[in-house]
């Protein structure tokens, strides 16, 4: 139990769960359990048992009912800690780190970084670079390459500027026709994405 005049510059740190009694400058006594404390503004929130209940309140309910009081410690002439908060009887054991999952996330982030760097091509427009990144969701990084400003997919199909479905060039129609049709659908879907049309309009200016 400790009593601290508020005039003391060393304001104590109140732990949640501690029982505190405050005496205001008007000699009002407020006793309750600490639920929050802000040292910077010297505000203390206490959970106090309710008093003066009417006769219709059951005895069991009287023990449960309480009210919250916010105390400005700057307006208190005395603050007393009646009971310090007790530490938990059995502290929880920290969860074990999933190292395998962390490694997977690291590998994924590194792959995304490599992809972004590979998608940057000063010869290609912003639309072309954005399409390259969009295609990476459908193909692996090794399946996509730049040929100057053109995008090469699986070394079979080339997508030229301005990167519409009509700009698909097939090296072997008999072998790559299905891939070209698939890429055409992917490009059409890409061009409906928010921002894609704006980049196209900017490119045409």
Report d(CA 3, CA 20) in Å as an integer: 10
Within the chain, which residue ranges are assigned CATH 2.30.30.100?
2-83
pLDDT of residue 132: 93
Q: In a structure prediction context, what are the per-residue pLDDT tens digits for the chain, which is 205 residues long?
A: 555 555 444 566 788 889 999 999 888 899 999 998 888 888 888 998 876 555 444 444 445 678 888 898 888 889 998 998 887 676 666 667 688 888 898 898 888 888 888 889 999 999 999 999 999 888 888 899 999 999 999 989 999 988 999 999 987 777 888 899 999 999 999 988 876 665 655 555 5
Q: Write the CB contacts of 175 (distance below 8 Å, at least 6 apart in sequence).
A: 156
- H/E/C letters for each residue in the chain? CEEECCCCCCCCCCCCCCEEEEEECCCCEEEEEEEEEECCCCEEEEEEECCCCCCCCCHHHHHHCEEEEEEEHHHEEEEEEEECCCCCCCCCCCCCCCHHHHHHHHHHHHHHHHHHHHHCCCCCCHHHHHHHHHHCCCCCHHHEEEECCEEEECCCEEECCCCCHHHEEECCHHHHHHHHHHHHHHHHHHHCCCCHHHHHHHHHC
The length of the chain in residues reads 205
pLDDT score for 158: 93
CATH number of 2-83: 2.30.30.100
The three-point CA angle 20-16-31 to 5° equals 20
Write down the pLDDT at residue 9. 47
pTM: 0.48
CA distances from 76 to 8, 21, 115 (A): 11, 10, 62
pLDDT at 60: 47
Q: In what order do the strands lie in the sheet with 29-38?
A: 2-4, 76-83, 19-24, 29-38, 43-49, 66-72
């Amino acid at each position: 139990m400790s009593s601290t005049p508020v005039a003391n510059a060393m304001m104590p740190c109140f732990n949640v769960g501690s029982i505190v009694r405050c005496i205001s400058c008007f000699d009002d006594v407020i006793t309750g359990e600490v639920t929050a404390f802000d040292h910077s503004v010297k505000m203390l929130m206490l959970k106090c048992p309710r008093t003066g209940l009417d006769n219709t309140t059951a005895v069991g309910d009287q023990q449960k009912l309480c009210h919250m009081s916010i105390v400005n410690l700057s307006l208190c002439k005395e603050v007393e800690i009646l009971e310090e908060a007790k530490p938990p009887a059995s502290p929880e054991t920290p969860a074990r780190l999933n190292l395998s999952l962390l490694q997977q996330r690291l590998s994924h982030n590194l792959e995304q970084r490599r992809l972004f760097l590979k998608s940057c091509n000063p010869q290609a427009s912003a639309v072309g670079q954005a399409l390259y990144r969009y295609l990476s969701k459908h193909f692996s990084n090794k399946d996509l390459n730049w040929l100057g400003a053109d995008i090469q997919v699986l070394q079979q199909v080339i997508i030229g500027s301005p990167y519409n479905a009509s700009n698909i060039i097939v090296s072997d129609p008999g072998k790559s026709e299905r891939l070209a049709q698939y890429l055409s659908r992917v490009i059409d879907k890409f061009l409906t994405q928010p921002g894609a049309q704006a980049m196209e309009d900017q490119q045409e200016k």
